[in-house]
């Protein structure tokens, strides 16, 4: 299934995408794509609904973050071998964890805003994991049973805040609008092998990133298991799993986002995003 949340910001409704690409309204069956409805067992009940009987949502729709109630937005750094080479850094012996503020979450096609004082705003197409069932001390072979599905993420980053200011990476990762997610939450049965998904990102129509999840250092199951050793993962939590080569910081010379730039990105089977970079005070 491809699950969505559509409508104005703060008033999104749950829906799904049918075989013709139409949005169908699920609000008569579930209150939201959140909480207990993300449990793989509960998702199975949604598959029994006659899709053709659901109301078709007419006209263009804004897509919101396809999951509600996220309490933790976690991310893994340097998780692609070719990206580590690009950055001139050693392959890490275990996953590098940082966090993105939940307040940075936004829809896949919403404008993104350049923070005040930003000098080096960068892009990162990433595969996102959405937790569906509470996970604590989960073994690798059980990890994916705790996953509701997968999403596209753009791990937007302000490198000057991340690399040149005191403290951890987090302050360059959680700025407002720096977490576009969606357009869909795709359940694992429809994705197939999460370790063989092509991914790409363009800026102003120019291809910047091309990669495949097969070059991940730590695969999805390993990441879920690993993180569950340090914290309880909860339904709706999102984990961004790293980016392939082609980030602006790695270009020679570096290339960074400016106001008016258009960023487009996508991952096989998971859909695409498009956002325009605006100034901080843009309405």
What lies within 8 Å, CB to CB, of 195 at 6+ separation is 213, 214, 216, 219, 220
HSE value, Cβ hemisphere, 13 Å, CA-based, for 184: 23
Q: What is the dihedral of CA 264, 245, 78, 277, to 10 degrees?
A: -30
Q: Which tens digit of pLDDT belongs to each residue from 228-247?
A: 999 999 999 999 999 999 99
Instruction: Compute the chain's Rg from CA coordinates.
Output: 18
Q: Which tens digit of pLDDT belongs to each residue from 13-70?
A: 999 999 999 999 999 999 999 999 999 999 998 989 999 999 999 988 999 999 999 9
What tokens does 265 get?
Answer: 């990105």
Residue 180's CB: how many other CB atoms inside 10 A?
A: 27
Give Cα separations from 236 to 3, 38, 132, 210, 281 (angstroms): 13, 7, 6, 28, 30
What tokens does 70 get?
Answer: 């996220």
Closest alpha carbon to 184 in 66, 40, 7? 66
Query: Does position 283 have pLDDT exceeding 70, yes or no?
Result: no
Report d(CA 86, CA 80) in Å as an integer: 10
Phi, psi of 35 (to 5 degrees): 55, -130
pLDDT of residue 162: 83
Give Cα separations from 100 to 8, 142, 191, 263 (angstroms): 23, 26, 25, 20
Q: 3-class SS at 57?
A: coil
Report d(CA 45, CA 32) in Å as an integer: 14
Q: What is the pTM of this model?
A: 0.96
> Which CATH code fits 64-278?
3.90.850.10
Q: Please list, residue by residue across 193-224, b when 16 or more beta carbons sit within 10 angstroms of its beta carbon and e when fewer do.
A: ebeebebbbbbeeeebbebbbebbbbbbbbbb
Task: Tell me what percent of the residues of the chain surpass a pLDDT of 90.
Answer: 87
**Could you write out the DSSP letters of every residue in 119-131?**
S-EE--EEEEEEE
171, 101 contact by CB (below 8 A): no
Q: 3-class SS at 50?
A: coil
Q: Which tens digit of pLDDT belongs to each residue from 113-164?
A: 999 999 999 999 999 999 999 999 999 999 999 999 999 999 999 999 987 7
């Amino acid at each position: 299934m491809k699950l969505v949340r559509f409508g104005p910001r703060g008033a999104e409704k749950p829906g799904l995408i049918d075989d013709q690409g139409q949005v169908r309204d699920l609000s008569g069956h579930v209150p939201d794509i959140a909480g207990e409805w993300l449990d793989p067992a509960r998702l199975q009940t949604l598959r029994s609904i006659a899709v053709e009987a659901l109301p078709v949502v007419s006209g263009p729709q804004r897509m919101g973050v396809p999951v509600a109630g996220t309490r933790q937005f976690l991310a893994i750094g340097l998780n692609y071998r070719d990206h580590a080479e690009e950055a001139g850094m050693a392959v890490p012996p275990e996953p590098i964890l940082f966090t993105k503020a939940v307040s940075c979450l936004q829809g896949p096609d919403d404008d993104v805003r350049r923070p005040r004082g930003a000098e080096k705003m960068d892009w990162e197409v990433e595969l996102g994991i959405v937790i569906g069932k509470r996970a604590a001390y989960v073994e690798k072979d059980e990890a994916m049973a705790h996953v509701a599905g997968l999403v596209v993420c753009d791990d937007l980053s302000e490198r000057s805040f991340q690399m040149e200011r005191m403290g951890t990476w987090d302050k360059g990762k959680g700025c407002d609008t720096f977490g576009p997610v969606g357009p869909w939450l795709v359940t694992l049965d429809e994705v197939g092998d999460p370790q063989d998904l092509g991914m790409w990102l363009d800026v102003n129509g120019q291809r910047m990133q091309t990669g495949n999840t097969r070059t991940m250092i730590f695969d999805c199951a390993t990441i879920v298991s690993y993180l569950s050793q340090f914290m309880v993962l909860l339904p709706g939590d999102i984990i961004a799993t790293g980016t392939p080569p082609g980030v602006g910081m790695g270009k020679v010379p570096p290339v960074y986002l400016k106001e008016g730039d258009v960023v487009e990105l996508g991952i096989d089977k998971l859909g695409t995003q498009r956002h325009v970079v605006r100034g901080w005070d843009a309405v």
